[in-house]
Amino acid sequence: MSEQSQHKRNLNAVNRALAGGTFSQVRQLLNSLPGAETAHLLESSPPREREILWRLLSQEQETEVLQYLGEEVRVELLRDLPPEELVPLIEDLDTDDLADLLQELPEQVTSQVLAALDAQNRERLEQVMSYPEDTAGGLMNTDVITVRPEITFGVVQRYLRRRGEIPETTDNLLVVNRRNQFIGVLPLTRVLISDPGTTVREAMRTDVEAIPADRPAHDVAKLFERLDLVTAAVVDENGVLVGRITIDDVVDVIREEADHSLMGMAGLDEDEDTFGSVWHTVRRRSLWLGINLLTALAASAVISLFENTLEKVVALAVLMPIVASMGGIAGSQTLTLVIRAMALGQVQEGNTRYLFTKELAVGALNGLLWALVIGATAALWFDDTSLGMIIASAMVLNLVVAAGAGALIPIAMKRMGIDPALAGSVVLTTITDVVGFFAFLGLATILYASLV
Amino acid sequence: MSEQSQHKRNLNAVNRALAGGTFSQVRQLLNSLPGAETAHLLESSPPREREILWRLLSQEQETEVLQYLGEEVRVELLRDLPPEELVPLIEDLDTDDLADLLQELPEQVTSQVLAALDAQNRERLEQVMSYPEDTAGGLMNTDVITVRPEITFGVVQRYLRRRGEIPETTDNLLVVNRRNQFIGVLPLTRVLISDPGTTVREAMRTDVEAIPADRPAHDVAKLFERLDLVTAAVVDENGVLVGRITIDDVVDVIREEADHSLMGMAGLDEDEDTFGSVWHTVRRRSLWLGINLLTALAASAVISLFENTLEKVVALAVLMPIVASMGGIAGSQTLTLVIRAMALGQVQEGNTRYLFTKELAVGALNGLLWALVIGATAALWFDDTSLGMIIASAMVLNLVVAAGAGALIPIAMKRMGIDPALAGSVVLTTITDVVGFFAFLGLATILYASLV
């Protein structure tokens, strides 16, 4: 059975039970599901059902489910809990998850949670919280196992047996010196296949670098992807080991970054809760619509410059959205491509010129192609060759401008510290609308004036 | 030093050296870089430089670099090689990468490569190739280490030492019965911490299910994400172990799926080569522009129905793009949200109605808000209260339609087996344009006709 249909069955069963009001059945079903699946159910439920489902969970289940919930939903469910109920729920979360969560909750709750932790855990949490959420330090956990270079594998293995537990997703032991500075990694597989007399120093890998704690999460993700890492050590500015990052947290970063581009280009937040309340959603989205209304008004202002021409030749009004629309489409292709390439780190000084020239050439060729088509169509439709020539010329011009703008906007925005995934498409559409209407109606005004 | 600036330095150094024609310097630089970094350089280079860089690599380096290259670039570089040069380059690739690559190369090359492999590798490759690329079977590698449940950890460890090598990213040994059917996993960490007398059966985990080879890659990725897996066993329809999937290949799936949504919504292929040739790019993108030209013409056809009204009230031509544009923006917010939620498996029968109703309500509220603003603006601008009322009504109507269409289009398309990330935005824009122009100009025609 596929994952999808499994969810579907669970979701439908829960909905039926909720609709029938048989909470005991729902509770029974929830008891049989793994935490990740319950979290997915909560995220796929409208506010009322989500609230009911959450209340039906035992405290133990709530703790389990919390670590799988998306940030926005998690904060929504926990925000209104009194601290004495909150602390037992969240104190067992992974250090990095807990640090993220505390940053979203009121100050007072944070200090109560910190006070409730034992000294060692508090120190670890404070260390993670001292780094911004989107850096290596903010991503790391502190559950590292360290060994010294001079000991033998026999000793390592006795140590591990006495310890009795190795944290999830541990592929390497981390080798440190007396001052706890990172010097290399010892793959667990080497401990398994090597002679017990081998020393850590002989078998450790020193070609693997540790990640500085202030390195941006984006760079960490690229590093994991490029080197196919499962875990990586994190060090402070003195090279002292402070924690480790595991691939599951990196996968979250990759997912969030991808979501950020996709959602950002539609003016949405990547954490947007699909089933959030109407009011919350309206507030978030209205700003974006307001900004776009301004750009549409700018286009109208351009059109109004040509009222006289429009009055004389109403065919212009019929055709004018075409040039602007094609410019927007062509420009957003370039924009999307460049934003993706920048996210992958492919756009650098050395190749910007090539990229720009290539996109201009693509814009010009596509402009010519579709200018012929629309020029012929317009000339036949309105039985007016001049009109065909006007729209064809405006089309070529706007598609070249669109390509140039699509390539330059994200590069320029990045230099100015603006996120092109968020602001790029608004600026692009404004340019392609203004240029599209101006070129088409302007050319028409000149040509018809000279003809009449 | 950050990842980004490291790339930048490499890229700039290569460009300077290439520009100066000092190939020996470039070769020296390339020798000092890890394969992943060289692959990144190739992907970030225009066609001519890419070709030169590739030729400067030794055969050994080429083999190393190949496994890190994106599919489109890899095929481009290998397509024209004669088989006798190709075979030594690619025969050491991971089974899953090799299978993907062979499916892109000419039939004749595939059979030559297969013939050049030893019997065991050929059998493995043919097994992977027998599954579609986007299934668990197509993602898997065949480098599994299996153990039987009845042996002790002492025996396991002797076996591993004799073997001498454990494949990269191995966190579990796979436990199989006499018929090679999967029965559980044995975490390497348990072998390390447990007594040598423990049997595999006592310590293995049986709560971890194997993935059927025909399971879609998308489901595999969700499973890895949800359960924080590092590797997973793959079985055929009889439960026989056929391979394993590692997290690095899953990360590629996640990246590709995210790219697919982002790029697809702009009519681009997720594999699109940022620095590909102009001609290649024009061909790919022109189709998308052609489709969009048809939708723009549909909008023009609607406008042309109202030529008489436009001739009388030229202010309508000035304002008419606003209603259509706002509908497009609002609709694409809903469309993007629903496409993302569907990719995450959150949209099911039980909650579609809520989602639809919520989006309609959001559309209506945002429509009302911005209708007031644009209505007042239009009334003041043209000193015409009727015009304000007309545009305000059309705005509310179009934003509600946009929300409904944005929610229903992806759900309907998925049922029809159409990819909403590819086709959704075109259909949406057509609807919001047609409805936007029709509502605004239609209302105006009725109202002005009754007023005159």
Is the CB of A262 less than 8 angstroms away from the CB of B266? no
CA distance B62 to A157: 40
Nearest 5°: phi and psi at A185?
-120, 145
Mean pLDDT of B338-363: 87
Q: In a mutagenesis test of the B interface, which of A158, A253, A262 is the best target, namely the one with the most B β-carbons within 10 Å?
A: A262
CA distance A430 to A299: 7
In chain A, residues 55-84 whose CB comes closer than 8 Å to chain B: 68
Is the CB of A358 less than 8 angstroms away from the CB of B262? no
Partners of residue A432 in chain B, C-beta under 8 Å: none
Q: Is A322 on the interface with B (CB under 8 A)?
A: yes
Mean pLDDT of B444-451: 82
The region of weakest confidence among A57-66, B374-383, B410-419 is: A57-66
Over chain B, what is the mean pLDDT? 87
Q: In a mutagenesis test of the A interface, which of B53, B225, B274 is the best target, namely the one with the most A β-carbons within 10 Å?
A: B274
Q: Is B284 on the interface with A (CB under 8 A)?
A: no
> What pLDDT does residue A67 have?
79
Q: Is B291 on the interface with A (CB under 8 A)?
A: no
% of chain B exceeding 70 in pLDDT: 95
> What pLDDT does residue B7 have?
63
Partners of residue A251 in chain B, C-beta under 8 Å: 224-225, 247, 250-251, 254
Domains of chain A: 3-133 (1.25.60.10), 146-248 (3.10.580.10), 278-451 (1.10.357.20)
CA distance B164 to A431: 63
Q: Max Cα separation, chain A? A: 99
Question: Which pLDDT tens digit goes with each residue over B386-426?
Answer: 999 999 999 999 999 999 999 999 999 989 988 888 888 88
Is the CB of A318 less than 8 angstroms away from the CB of B337? no
Is the CB of A288 less than 8 angstroms away from the CB of B318? no
pLDDT reading at A13 higher than 80: no
Question: Which pLDDT tens digit goes with each residue over B221-262?
Answer: 988 988 889 999 999 999 999 999 999 999 989 888 888 888
Mean pLDDT of A312-340: 92
> What pLDDT does residue A451 have?
60
Mean pLDDT of B315-327: 93
Question: Which pLDDT tens digit goes with each residue over A146-159?
Answer: 999 999 999 998 99
Is the CB of A314 less than 8 angstroms away from the CB of B311? yes
B318 against B11, higher pLDDT = B318
pLDDT tier, A117 (very low <50, low <70, confident <90, very high otherwise): confident
Partners of residue B237 in chain A, C-beta under 8 Å: none
pLDDT reading at A94 higher than 70: yes
A32 against B319, higher pLDDT = B319
Q: Shortest CB distance from A191 goes to which of B192, B304, B333?
A: B192
Mean pLDDT of A81-92: 78
> What pLDDT does residue A79 have?
78
A87 against A53, higher pLDDT = A53
Is the CB of B251 less than 8 angstroms away from the CB of A248? no
A110 against B320, higher pLDDT = B320
pLDDT reading at B25 higher than 90: no
Nearest-10 crossing angle of helices A59-66, A83-90: 60
Mean pLDDT of A230-255: 93
HEC secondary structure over chain A? CCHHHHHHHHHHHHHHHHHHCCHHHHHHHHHHCCHHHHHHHHHCCCHHHHHHHHHHCCHHHHHHHHCCCCHHHHHHHHCCCCHHHHHHHHCCCCHHHHHHHHHHCCHHHHHHHHHHCCHHHHHHHHHHHCCCCCEHHHHCECCCCEECCCCEHHHHHHHHHHHCCCCCCCCEEEEECCCCEEEEEEEHHHHHHCCCCCEHHHHCECCCCCEECCCEHHHHHHHHHHHCCCEEEEECCCCEEEEEEEHHHHHHHHHHHHHHHHHHCCCCCCCCCCCCCHHHHHHHHHHHHHHHHHHHHHHHHHHHCCHHHHHHCHHHHHHHHHHHHHHHHHHHHHHHHHHHHHHCCCCCHHHHHHHHHHHHHHHHHHHHHHHHHHHHHHHHHCCCHHHHHHHHHHHHHHHHHHHHHHHHHHHHHHHCCCCHHHHHHHHHHHHHHHHHHHHHHHHHHHHHHHHC
Is the CB of A322 less than 8 angstroms away from the CB of B296? yes
pLDDT reading at B1 higher than 50: no
Partners of residue A191 in chain B, C-beta under 8 Å: 192
- Adjacent-strand bridge partners of B212: B235
Q: Which residue of A has its CA nearest to B354?
A: A46
Mean pLDDT of A406-431: 91
> What pLDDT does residue B4 have?
53
In chain A, residues 229-258 whose CB comes closer than 8 Å to chain B: 230, 247-248, 250-251, 254-255, 258
Q: Is B44 on the interface with A (CB under 8 A)?
A: yes
Is the CB of B288 less than 8 angstroms away from the CB of A247? no
pLDDT tier, A1 (very low <50, low <70, confident <90, very high otherwise): very low
Chain A nearest-CA distance from B273, in A, is 9
> What pLDDT does residue A101 have?
80
Beta-carbon pairs below 8 A across chains A and B = 377
Q: Shortest CB distance from B230 goes to which of A11, A247, A255?
A: A247
Partners of residue A325 in chain B, C-beta under 8 Å: 292, 295-296, 299, 429, 433
Give the SS3 label for residue B297: helix
CA distance A287 to A291: 6
Partners of residue B48 in chain A, C-beta under 8 Å: none
CA distance B22 to A53: 68
Is the CB of A222 less than 8 angstroms away from the CB of B3? yes
Other Cβ atoms closer than 10 A to B98: 22
Partners of residue A437 in chain B, C-beta under 8 Å: 321
> What pLDDT does residue A8 have?
66
Q: Is B155 on the interface with A (CB under 8 A)?
A: no
The region of weakest confidence among A85-94, A121-130, A135-144, B433-442 is: A85-94
Q: Are B121 and B147 in contact (CB under 8 A)?
A: no
Partners of residue A320 in chain B, C-beta under 8 Å: 317, 321
A246 against B114, higher pLDDT = A246
Nearest 5°: phi and psi at A110?
-55, -45
Partners of residue A371 in chain B, C-beta under 8 Å: none
Question: Which pLDDT tens digit goes with each residue over B269-313?
Answer: 877 788 888 888 888 788 888 888 898 899 999 999 998 888 888
Is the CB of A292 less than 8 angstroms away from the CB of B354? no
Mean pLDDT of A379-395: 94
The region of weakest confidence among A121-135, B70-84, B297-311 is: B70-84
Q: In a mutagenesis test of the B interface, which of A6, A72, A230 is the best target, namely the one with the most B β-carbons within 10 Å?
A: A230
pLDDT reading at B88 higher than 50: yes
pLDDT reading at A60 higher than 90: no
In chain B, residues 92-121 whose CB comes closer than 8 Å to chain A: none
Mean pLDDT of B331-347: 88
Closest residue by Cα to residue A374 from A440, A447, A430:
A440
pLDDT reading at B105 higher than 50: yes
CA distance A416 to A397: 27
Q: Shortest CB distance from B275 goes to which of A297, A303, A354?
A: A354
Mean pLDDT of A382-404: 95
Mean pLDDT of A386-398: 95
Mean pLDDT of A399-428: 92
CA distance B223 to A36: 10
Q: Are B127 and B142 in contact (CB under 8 A)?
A: yes
Over chain A, what is the mean pLDDT? 87
pLDDT reading at A452 higher than 60: no
> What pLDDT does residue B108 have?
76
pLDDT tier, A288 (very low <50, low <70, confident <90, very high otherwise): confident
CA distance B87 to B116: 7
pLDDT tier, B143 (very low <50, low <70, confident <90, very high otherwise): confident
Q: Is B6 on the interface with A (CB under 8 A)?
A: no
Mean pLDDT of B116-138: 84
Q: Is A33 on the interface with B (CB under 8 A)?
A: no
Mean pLDDT of A343-360: 86
